[in-house]
């Protein structure tokens, strides 16, 4: 490993320590929310409700894992929700067109990966800011989903898809197991591979990463391709959960995925974040939605609360950055 990348990596313990503090705080928030909801509603701790919460959490969490890679590099992917939405429509149409389910999955995921790769090319080769490049992809994917579906819901999928989407394994929803696998894969890549170290290095300082020998082109391509892949997986999960193609199924998921990563400790300024944090952040998001439904609160409050949480998280991140800077100056 290049020496300067090793130096960047050597700073990880203090950064990880600060991150774990954030994740501990998020875990406390989850415990408090669950205790409150258990007291406020007799239905919260029912097996049916907890499984439903985890199923909703799973989709946001998988999208959040892909989003995490882009955020750690100091970028962002605004298109994950609508790419998932487009995959939802493509997967539905291909299955209804008598394409086998495995081949339909491959076609759908290839589409998502292709969009992610295009994002990476636009960002690196043409130097378009990630916000603008992925905003464009978000709009294109949303429009394509509406065009392909005719703006209407598409039903008639095989019952096996619904059976998987609502099924359980070892007491937990099948969709939640997909999230667990995604979290493990994301954590292994970020913590134990050279590519993962390069992702953090680019978030710390792109120019220093280049000078140290990091292939920044390949890293950016892979980061946004992975984001597209996880968005595609999320789209398949949406289809399984809803048992139909819905051309507006992913609009709110763009913000939710970013919020899940940010609430879980990912710095929107780059170089910080973990897949485990995304898991915790997505549970917070799912709990808020579940609580508003159980307590018969207008669900629009979910977006208000989500926005406030994002602002609070960024504020905490700023304070954390100042604390780290002070620590570095002392030592």
Residue 276 banded pLDDT, cuts 50, 70, 90 = very high
| pLDDT at residue 72, rounded to an integer | 94
Q: What is the mean pLDDT of residues 60-64?
A: 95
Torsion of Cα atoms, 7 then 8 then 10 then 13, to 10°: 170
pLDDT (tens digit per residue) in 132-153? 999 999 999 999 999 999 989 9
Angle at 306 (CA atoms; ends 303, 311), nearest 5 degrees: 130
Q: What is the mean pLDDT of residues 295-311?
A: 77
DSSP letter for 173, please: E
- Residue partners of 113: CB distance under 8 A and separation at least 6: 225, 228, 229, 232
Instruction: Give percent above pLDDT 90 in the chain.
Output: 54
Instruction: Give percent above pLDDT 70 in the chain.
Output: 89
Residue 109: pLDDT over 50: yes
DSSP letter for 169, please: E
pLDDT (tens digit per residue) in 30-48? 899 899 999 998 898 898 8
Average pLDDT, the chain: 86
Among positive and negative, which fits the CA dihedral 282, 284, 289, 293?
positive
Q: If residue 78 lies in a helix (H) or strand (E), which one and from where to where?
A: none
Residue 259 banded pLDDT, cuts 50, 70, 90 = confident
Q: Are 261 and 93 in contact (CB under 8 A)?
A: no
| pLDDT at residue 14, rounded to an integer | 47
Residue 315 vs residue 178, higher pLDDT: 178
* Separation of alpha carbons 124 and 121, rounded Å: 5
| pLDDT at residue 24, rounded to an integer | 81
Residue 321 banded pLDDT, cuts 50, 70, 90 = low
| pLDDT at residue 317, rounded to an integer | 65
| pLDDT at residue 12, rounded to an integer | 45
Say whether 105 sits in a helix, a strand or coil. Answer: helix
Structure tokens at 42: 């007799």
Q: What is the pTM of this model?
A: 0.87
Residue 22: pLDDT over 60: yes
Residue 127: pLDDT over 60: yes
pLDDT (tens digit per residue) in 210-247? 888 889 999 999 999 999 999 999 999 999 999 999 99
Q: What is the mean pLDDT of residues 262-290?
A: 87
Q: What is the mean pLDDT of residues 173-190?
A: 95
Q: What is the mean pLDDT of residues 296-307?
A: 76
């Amino acid at each position: 490993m290049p020496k300067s990348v090793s130096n960047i990596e050597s700073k990880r313990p203090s950064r990880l320590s600060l991150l774990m503090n954030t994740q501990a705080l998020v875990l406390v928030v989850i415990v408090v929310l669950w205790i409150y909801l258990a007291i406020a509603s007799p239905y919260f701790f029912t097996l049916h409700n907890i499984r439903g919460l985890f199923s909703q959490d799973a989709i946001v969490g998988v999208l959040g894992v892909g989003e995490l890679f882009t955020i750690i590099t100091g970028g962002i992917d605004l298109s994950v929700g609508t790419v998932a939405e487009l995959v939802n429509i493509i997967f539905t149409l291909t299955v209804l067109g008598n394409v086998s389910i495995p081949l339909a999955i491959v076609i759908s995921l290839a589409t998502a990966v292709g969009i992610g790769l295009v994002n990476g090319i636009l960002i690196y080769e043409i130097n378009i800011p990630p916000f603008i490049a992925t905003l464009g992809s978000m709009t294109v994917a949303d429009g394509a989903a509406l065009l392909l579906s005719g703006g209407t819901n598409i039903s008639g999928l095989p019952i096996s898809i619904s059976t998987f989407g609502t099924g359980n394994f070892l007491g937990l929803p099948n969709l939640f197991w997909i999230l667990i696998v995604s979290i493990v894969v994301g954590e292994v890549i970020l913590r134990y591979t050279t590519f993962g170290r390069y992702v953090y290095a680019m978030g710390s300082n792109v120019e220093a990463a280049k000078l140290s020998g990091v292939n920044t082109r390949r890293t950016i391509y892979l980061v946004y391709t992975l984001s597209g892949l996880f968005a595609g997986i999320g789209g398949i999960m949406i289809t399984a959960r809803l048992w139909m193609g819905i051309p507006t199924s992913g609009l709110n998921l763009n913000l939710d995925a970013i919020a899940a990563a940010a609430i879980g400790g990912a710095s929107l300024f780059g170089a910080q974040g973990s897949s485990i944090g995304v898991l915790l952040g997505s549970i917070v998001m799912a709990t808020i939605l579940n609580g508003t439904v159980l307590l018969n609160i207008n669900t629009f409050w979910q977006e208000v609360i989500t926005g406030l949480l994002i602002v609070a998280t960024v504020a905490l991140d700023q304070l954390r950055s100042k604390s780290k800077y002070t620590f570095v100056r002392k030592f």
